[in-house]
Amino acid sequence: MILIINSVNQTASENTSQYNSDLISQQNLVSIVELLEYDFSRIGYCENTDSILSPENMITYADSNKIIFWTDIAVSSSNFRGNGTKEELIYELGPDVNETPNPFDKLLYRYLKGDKKDASNLGITEFKITYFDNLNNKLSHPINTKLISYMQIDLKVEDCYGYDTDNNEKLHSEKFPTVFWKQIRLATKNMSR
Amino acid sequence: MGGKASIFLVLGFSTIILIIGLNMNRVSSSAVDNSSNYYENEIAKEIARSGINLAASNLSRNHSWNPTDKKFNYLGDKNLEISVKESGDIKTVTAIGIFKGVAKTIEVKIKLASFSEYAYFSNVEGDIWWTGTDSVWGPFHTNDNIQVQGHPYFNGPVTSHGGIMKYYTDKATDAPTIQGTYIPGTTINIPTDGITNLSASASKAGHVFTGTSQVFLKFAGDSIKYKFNSGDPYVTVLGSSLAPNGVIYVNNGNLRIEGTVKGNWSVGSNKNVYLDNDVVYSKVPNYKDKNDASPDLLGIVSQNDVIITDNTANRSSINVHAAIYCEDGGFTAENYTSRTLSGTIHLIGGITQNQRKGVGTFTADKTKKIPKSGFPYKDYKYDSRLLKKVPPYFPSTNTFKVLSWLE
């Protein structure tokens, strides 16, 4: 009887943990995606129309996991307009965290140029941007930012802590629930002016 | 006793299983909530985007469109709200999309575009190709296909009516470099009333020359000099007195211009406009700086052609500072197939023409480009100020351009 109870308890704990991990990863992914979509839709935007740059100058740096672009950050959470002064916003994938059981999770930094880097660990294991020109040709490294017209963003989020992480018989994906997001999109309406 | 224990055991297990079940259920519900919330946000955003498109469509047909009933039915009852506000020449279109209680707002600032904003605009390209030695800086549009040979360079937004990029040999050999957006499938018609409107503006508060087959007009600082025959002496008047609104128009005669432009002017004719010599700004702007403070701006508007005269003054290059508009014709050089080699056209401004025309010729072998006649070299620089400034009453495209898009 005790063995049965123990077995039921173990199975229940494992399932609960797995489901919770799935949920946390999914919540993290949605949070990141909503922020990404919000920021990327504002590439090149400035409330002061006289300060708007021409499309080829809106992105100032681009590689596979870092991008710097001009935007006008919202005044507050209740006012989505900018204050009319454009700023350079940076998205950058940092190094491995090394403080969690998941060996691949990294920090995704989002900060204004000149500000301190800051990020929380949301379990991002992949943040990759692929760039395309006007004629849908993939741009090769080093990226000429003036030619960017479209971007593909690949995002992978895994649970940082997982379950039964010491079990060497389990695959990485079994220990750390994973969610993906991929989008091919016009970088921003402001770039197609 | 054993029976009671069994009951407690069953009840205990049932409670534990129930709690576990509820927890699993909560997790599943939260996961579905996440997905549905994201979906609802996206749908609300798409409704708002549709609202912007709906407003743009109406505004393109009626520039003063502003819905009295601001609420529209879209994927639901009154789920879309559109409003248009005006501030000077800028309209702010706001669309709010609502889906299942989630509201998303998009705000777009738009402005009527003028042909003066184009570095290059043509209705018909004819049999002229953009080659590897050609580059265009600034907005480009053609209602024809873009014909490319040997990787020409375009720096600025490129639009064309034809969805076809016509390659001389193939894509690998000829594909252009475009720094900026490329949007095929866009039609911007040259209006049929651009000259008429300019004439009306000149009649109101400018100056109209009538009853003469030609007018020689010379910009000379604050003065405007004019005469009707080449051998006549010039009549000198204060420019602001001759045409207070800056528009000078020749009705049923050719206009021949030259000189140093001071201030904002638009000059035109319902015949041809000839460039008899350099036409330059008194304060030459930094063409790369759209905020340059030079007070000088010139629009040259012609019903037919704008023509570089075949004369001595124009045999060793020509400098033209202006936004040029040819409603039915094009920008060309007189006798360009037979005139002597005349150097380079140095243009700071832009060209809008119905029909792309030649200014010089080369030997038949396009790859070698050996100059043969006319102006073999073009040094066209886009005056970035034209993105913001418009010469007086310069013809409008009657289309709106997006200044900023905010989600």
Answer whether B28 sits within 8 Å of A19, measured CB to CB.
yes
Q: What is the pLDDT of residue B252?
A: 96
Strand A150-158 and strand A124-132: the pairing is antiparallel
Q: What is the pLDDT of residue B393?
A: 93
d(CA A34, CA A41): 11
Choose the closest CB to B31 out of A23, A50, A56. Answer: A23
Answer whether B175 sits within 8 Å of A135, measured CB to CB.
yes
> CA nearest B164: which of B178, B147, B152, B181?
B147
User: How does pLDDT run across B339-382, given as a tens digit for each residue?
Assistant: 999 999 999 999 999 998 989 888 866 566 788 899 988 888 99
User: How does pLDDT run across B154-170, given as a tens digit for each residue?
Assistant: 887 888 887 667 888 88
- Chain B nearest CA to A97, separation (Å): 26
Q: Which residues from A are below 8 Å from B156, CB to CB?
A: 54, 56
CA-nearest residue to B172 within chain A is A137
Q: Which residues from B are below 8 Å from A134, CB to CB?
A: 158, 178, 180-182
CA-nearest residue to A146 within chain B is B179
User: How does pLDDT run across B217-232, given as a tens digit for each residue?
Assistant: 999 999 999 999 999 9
> CA nearest B125: which of B148, B157, B147, B149?
B147
Q: Which residues from B are below 8 Å from A41, CB to CB?
A: 405, 407
CA-nearest residue to B32 within chain A is A23
> CA nearest B140: which of B167, B165, B168, B160?
B160
User: How does pLDDT run across B60-71, given as a tens digit for each residue?
Assistant: 888 888 888 888
Q: What is the pLDDT of residue B18?
A: 82
Q: Please say whether the beta carbons of B56 and B400 come within 8 A.
A: yes
Mean pLDDT over B186-209 rounds to 92
Choose the closest CB to A42 out of B179, B291, B406. Answer: B406
In the predicted model, is pLDDT for residue A21 greater than 80? Answer: no
Answer whether B24 sits within 8 Å of A22, measured CB to CB.
no
Q: Which residues from A are below 8 Å from B387, CB to CB?
A: 54
CA-nearest residue to B41 within chain A is A34
Residue B392 tokens read as 């007086």
Q: What is the pLDDT of residue B197?
A: 92
Q: Which residues from B are below 8 Å from A38, CB to CB?
A: 407
Q: Which of B181, B182, B186 to mutate to test the interface with A (most CBs of A within 10 A)?
A: B181
Burial of A37-59, coded b for 16+ CB within 10 Å and e otherwise, reads bebbbbbbbbbeeeebbbbbebb
Question: What is the number of alpha carbons within 13 Å of residue B47 lying toward its C-beta?
Answer: 28
Which of A10-24, A52-66, B113-127 comes out lowest in average pLDDT? A10-24
Supply the pTM of this predicted model: 0.77
Q: What is the pLDDT of residue B228?
A: 96
Tracing tokens 């002061």 back to the chain, one arrives at A48
Answer whether A146 sits within 8 Å of B38, measured CB to CB.
no
Q: Which of B92, B96, B389, B404 to mutate to test the interface with A (most CBs of A within 10 A)?
A: B404
